[in-house]
Amino acid sequence: MAKAPQTAITPTRAEDYPEWYQQVVRAADLAELSSVRGCMVIKPWGYALWENIQRALDQMFKDTGHVNAYFPLFIPLSYLEKEAAHVDGFAKECAVVTHHRLEAGPDGRLVPTGKLEEPLVVRPTSETIIGATYAKWVKSYRDLPILINQWANVVRWELRTRMFLRTTEFLWQEGHTAHATSDEAVEETKKMLGVYATFAQDYMAMPVIRGEKTAGERFPGAVNTYSIEAMMQDRKALQAGTSHFLGQNFSKAQEIKYLSAEGREEFAWTTSWGVSTRLIGALIMTHSDDDGLVLPPRLAPQHVVILPIHRNDEEAGPVLEYCHKLRAELSAQRYDDAPVRALVDTRDIPRADKKWQQIKRGVPIVIEVGPRDIAGDTLMPKRRDDKSGEKKAAISRGQLVSTIGAELAAMQRGLFERAAAERQANTRTITNLADFESYFTPANAERPEVHGGFAICHFVETPETAAILAKHKVTIRCIPLADEPGFEEQVSGKCVFTGQETKQRGVFAKAY
């Protein structure tokens, strides 16, 4: 019997996908649960990844005319009450501040005192507090548009949490814009959806479908919600970013009014859009393997890690010298309009541990350097996404250095192509209910993740449709935009669930 190949992560994806995910987060040193319920500690390697995500997105926001600002963490209860649908969606599970002081009680333990007249909610999202501010800023059509983004922490009291995917506190950005016309606000909503799609594909190497949410999946208070949807390796969908056209719902609730050029008093049209540390969860589940994290080079905190190998102090001198020289040469190369990020890992821990740690952390290229490599001035770089298992021929140091940028670019491209092929292989157009039901029924009850994947179906939203979807725990992820590849042509067909003729097609999947 062939021995199963050893993997760094236990269990493997095939054995237990959800647990594999938690183990990758841990093994890659990305984050850990804190002792505060549902809150995580984002560790340096995970935070460096978030910093790279932030930097790229922030530049894209600025390039599309947005500026950053900062609004209060706390929202007065009365603000939340102003927009009825919004209350229903968000007021339920919030952290509520009721006191502003702690004093020693009779037993010496601290007790909350100084009760607030009006409780404050820790922001679950900031439409209401930002809207109230815009109402003060906007007087004339000349004050519009307002194009502001905020990087912030938000809190939603979640019952079941999973690191990066769903935590009580998380980090995100929330764009909030106000416009003079509905058309302009809709255009902004779609533009930012496009920014998210570009970021997901170009930086995260993660293919996404841009689409509109159905009524039942809209952001509480929105007129339309758009999202980007990605397929994870367990074939489930993950909503990776949302952009909302809020119409005049919030501007009416918050009284964001302006005097038009014609002298009429009008309500502004607003949008909001956001992505969060959830993107890191998406990144992990798109590319990682049974040896741990795999990072797309454009977002990797380090591109290359050099591991010096020496058995004694005598060897250490020349090896370290060579490694530092190599690092300097690599850092002088450019990738993605910036110097290559290279590091020599000189930590005093066992060689194998060190190597596996860098693999589990997803470093794109790892190079071991020992006396024999130095003697030949040739090296054997190991690319993290190379799953061939074949031993590659050594290449000269000069060649390694001069091709490093191209190698990173090839890996970035390769990751995207692999994910796109994977998605394509697990996406099917389905035209009848029997196929739909069997597509979403796992063949093996112990491995519920092994099902079809994405289904493209004509559909009409009816109670019948909803019942069938609920039965299979499948959701309508989105109605793809008309310029989404494969959906450019409007074709008519029969609703898989009701048999009604319709032009509406949706992407159906189990989802996070």
Residues forming contacts to its own copies in the complex (CB under 8 A) are 32, 34-36, 39-44, 46-48, 50-51, 67-77, 80-81, 87, 91-103, 109-110, 112, 114, 119-122, 129, 132-133, 136, 142, 148, 152-153, 155, 157, 169, 171, 347-349
Of residues 136 and 387, the one with the C-beta less far from its own copies: 136
Contacts of 454 (CB under 8 A, 6+ apart): 231, 235, 237, 423, 426, 427, 428, 477, 507, 508, 509
Closest CA to 242 of 147, 174, 155, 163: 174
Of residues 22 and 403, the one with the C-beta less far from its own copies: 22
Of residues 142 and 325, the one with the C-beta less far from its own copies: 142
Spatial separation of the C-alpha atoms in residues 429 and 455, rounded to whole Å = 6
Smallest distance, Å, CB 106 to its own copies?
15
Of residues 54 and 426, the one with the C-beta less far from its own copies: 54
Smallest distance, Å, CB 402 to its own copies?
27
Spatial separation of the C-alpha atoms in residues 468 and 476, rounded to whole Å = 11
Of residues 113 and 432, the one with the C-beta less far from its own copies: 113
Burial degree of 463 (CB within 10 A; 0-12, 13-18, 19+):
exposed
> Are 276 and 165 in contact, with CB atoms under 8 Å apart?
no
Of residues 115 and 372, the one with the C-beta less far from its own copies: 115
Strand partners of residue 511: 237
E strand segments, 260-359: 265-267, 269-276, 304-308, 334-335, 338-339, 342-344
Smallest distance, Å, CB 96 to its own copies?
4
> Are 164 and 31 in contact, with CB atoms under 8 Å apart?
yes
Smallest distance, Å, CB 473 to its own copies?
26
Between β-strands 96-104 and 110-122, what pairing exists: parallel, antiparallel or unpaired? antiparallel
Strand partners of residue 152: 172
Between β-strands 74-76 and 110-122, what pairing exists: parallel, antiparallel or unpaired? antiparallel
380 SS3 class: coil
Of residues 34 and 403, the one with the C-beta less far from its own copies: 34
First to last CA, the chain: 37
Q: Tokens in use for 230?
A: 């990605």
Smallest distance, Å, CB 148 to its own copies?
7
Of residues 103 and 501, the one with the C-beta less far from its own copies: 103
Helix (H) or strand (E) holding 101: strand 96-104
Of residues 328 and 482, the one with the C-beta less far from its own copies: 328
> Are 273 and 293 in contact, with CB atoms under 8 Å apart?
no
Closest CA to 27 of 40, 46, 54: 46
Of residues 152 and 479, the one with the C-beta less far from its own copies: 152
Burial degree of 98 (CB within 10 A; 0-12, 13-18, 19+):
exposed
Smallest distance, Å, CB 35 to its own copies?
6
Smallest distance, Å, CB 136 to its own copies?
8
> Are 91 and 80 in contact, with CB atoms under 8 Å apart?
yes
DSSP for 415-431, please give it: HHHHHHHHHHHTEEE--
Smallest distance, Å, CB 8 to its own copies?
21
Smallest distance, Å, CB 169 to its own copies?
5
Of residues 77 and 85, the one with the C-beta less far from its own copies: 77
Smallest distance, Å, CB 75 to its own copies?
7
Smallest distance, Å, CB 240 to its own copies?
20
Angle between helices 397-425 and 278-287 (to 10 degrees): 100
